[in-house]
Amino acid sequence: MAPKKPLVIVTRKLPASVETRLMELFDTRLNTTDEPMSTKQLIEAVQTADVLVPTVTDRIDREVLAQAGPKLKLLANFGAGVDHIDLKTARARGLLVTNTPGVLTSDTADLTMALILAVPRRMSEGERLLRNGDWKGWSPTLLMGHRVFGKRLGIIGMGRIGSAVARRARAFGVSIHYHNRRRVDSDLEAELEATYWESLDQMLARMDIISINCPRTPATYHLLNARRLALLQPTAYIVNTSRGEVIDETALAKALEAKLIGGAGLDVYENEPSVDPALLGLENCVLLPHMSSSTHEARTEMGEKVIINIKTHVDGHKPPDRVLESMF
C-alpha cells in the first residue's frame, strides 16, 4: 500500500506547471481564485495542513501560528523574503521555514536598473504625455532629465541582488558605493570597484542615486526616515525594489512633493496593495505594482524550489533552503 501523501495547502495561484507537479507529488489544495486568504482561512489551513505554501501577501503571524495543528511541520514559502512570517513563533512551535533564494536575483536587478534609468530620464512622464495626446512634437527643453553616466550609485544592501545591480550599473558608467551590515569580500569589492561606507548617513549625503536592496527586518524598518531623506541632495533619486517598509512612505511623499529630492522609482509599498495617494499624484515618481520578479522563468524556478524543499522534507532530509536557523 502506497504511503499517504502529505496535505499541502497553497495560498495563491502559482504557474500551471508548478501546480501540476504539486498535484502529482502531494495531496495538494490549490487556490484557484488567486484571492489572498483571510486570517480565518489561513488559520483553517494551518490547522489541517502538513505543509503550507504561503506568499508575501499572507501574514503568517503569531495569531495564525498559535492555532497550527500538530500535523503542520513546514512553511515552504514561495518567495525569498520571509518578513511576513513570524519566525520566532515558528521556531518556538518547531516549524521549519524555507524560501526560494537566488532565482529572483537577475530579474529583480534588471527591474531595479530599469528604474535607475527611467526616473532620471523622466520616462514615465514622457509616456503619459504621449498617451494623453498632449505631445506637440520635439522641443529643445521638453522633459529634460539627467544622464546616468558618471553618477554615483549608493546601494543599501550588497547581497545577491545588490551585487547584481552593481554589475549592471557599472556597464552604464556608474560609480558604485554601498552600505551593508558587513563589508563584502575584498574580491567582490575589487570586481565592482565599489566604495564601502560604514556610515549610511555619510553615504546618503553624497550619492546621486540610492538603490534599496536590503531585506525587511526590525533594524531596516523606516531605515530611510524623514531625517535621512533630508540628507539627500535635491537632485538625488531613490529606487526601491526591496520592501516598502524600509522607507517612511509618508515622509518620502512629502520630500518628493516639496522637490527636496529629484524623484523616486518604487516597486514596493508600505501597505500593499494600498499606495499613499500623495505618491499617485506626483510626476517625479515612477510607480510599479510589485513586479520585480514577475517573469515566467523566475516564478517557475521559485515553484521548483518550493517543490524540492517539500519533497526533501517529506523524504526525511533537511530541505536545502532553510531560513530559520540563519535568522536568529
Place of cell 537577475: 106
Please give the grid coordinates belonging to residue 105: 536575483
Q: 179 and 256: one domain?
A: yes
Buried b (16+ CB within 10 A) or exposed e, 295-322: beebbbbbbbbbbbbbbbbbeeeebebb
Q: 37 and 118: one domain?
A: no
| Dist. CA 120–CA 157, nearest whole Å | 22
pLDDT in tens, 293-304: 999 999 999 999
Residue at 318 is within a domain:
yes
Residue at 15 is within a domain:
yes
The residue segments making up the domain with residue 37 are: 7-103+295-327
Q: 96 and 116: one domain?
A: no
Please give the grid coordinates belonging to residue 122: 523622466
Q: 194 and 272: one domain?
A: yes
Q: 97 and 169: one domain?
A: no
**Bond before 234 cis per omega within 30 degrees:** no
Mean pLDDT of the 166-178 span = 98
pLDDT in tens, 64-111: 999 999 999 999 999 999 999 999 999 999 999 999 999 999 999 999
CA distances from 115 to 187, 220, 267, 278 (A): 28, 22, 9, 20
Q: Determine contact, residues 118/126, Cβ cutoff 8 Å.
A: no
Which burial class, exposed, middle or buried, applies to 1 when counting CB atoms under 10 A from its CB (0-12, 13-18, 19+)?
Answer: exposed
Residue 326 has what pLDDT?
40
Q: Label the pairing between strands 96-98 and 152-156.
A: unpaired
Checking if the pLDDT of 241 tops 90, the result is yes
Place of cell 563584502: 184
Q: 22 and 165: one domain?
A: no
Considering 29, 146, 290, 322, which one is annotated as catalytic?
290
**How many domains does the chain fold into?**
2
Q: 197 and 274: one domain?
A: yes
Residue at 181 is within a domain:
yes
DSSP state of 327: G
Q: 26 and 158: one domain?
A: no
Considering 189, 191, 257, 272, which one is annotated as catalytic?
272
Residue 3 binned pLDDT confidence (cut-offs 50, 70, 90): confident
Percentage of residues in the chain having pLDDT higher than 90: 97
Residue at 143 is within a domain:
yes
Give yes or no: 283 in active site.
no
* Side chain identity at residue 158, one-letter code: M
Q: 171 and 277: one domain?
A: yes
206, 198, 195: which is closest to 166 by C-alpha? Answer: 195
Residue 303 has what pLDDT?
98
Question: What's the angle, vertex CA 158, arms to CA 246 and CA 221, rounded to 5?
Answer: 15
Residue at 1 is within a domain:
no
Mean pLDDT of the 316-327 span = 80
Q: 274 and 126: one domain?
A: yes
Mean pLDDT across the chain: 96
Residue at 115 is within a domain:
yes
Mean pLDDT of the 108-130 span = 97
Residue at 2 is within a domain:
no
Buried b (16+ CB within 10 A) or exposed e, 73-103: bbbbbbbbbbbbbbbebbeebebbbbbbbeb
Q: 265 and 122: one domain?
A: yes
Residue 125 sits in a domain whose CATH number is 3.40.50.720
Q: 131 and 274: one domain?
A: yes
| Dist. CA 286–CA 272, nearest whole Å | 16
| Dist. CA 223–CA 231, nearest whole Å | 13
Q: How far apart are the first and last CA of the chain?
A: 42
pLDDT in tens, 201-237: 999 999 999 999 999 999 999 999 999 999 999 999 9
Residue at 94 is within a domain:
yes
Give yes or no: 272 in active site.
yes
Residue 328 binned pLDDT confidence (cut-offs 50, 70, 90): very low
Checking if the pLDDT of 281 tops 50, the result is yes
Considering 243, 245, 301, 313, which one is annotated as catalytic?
243
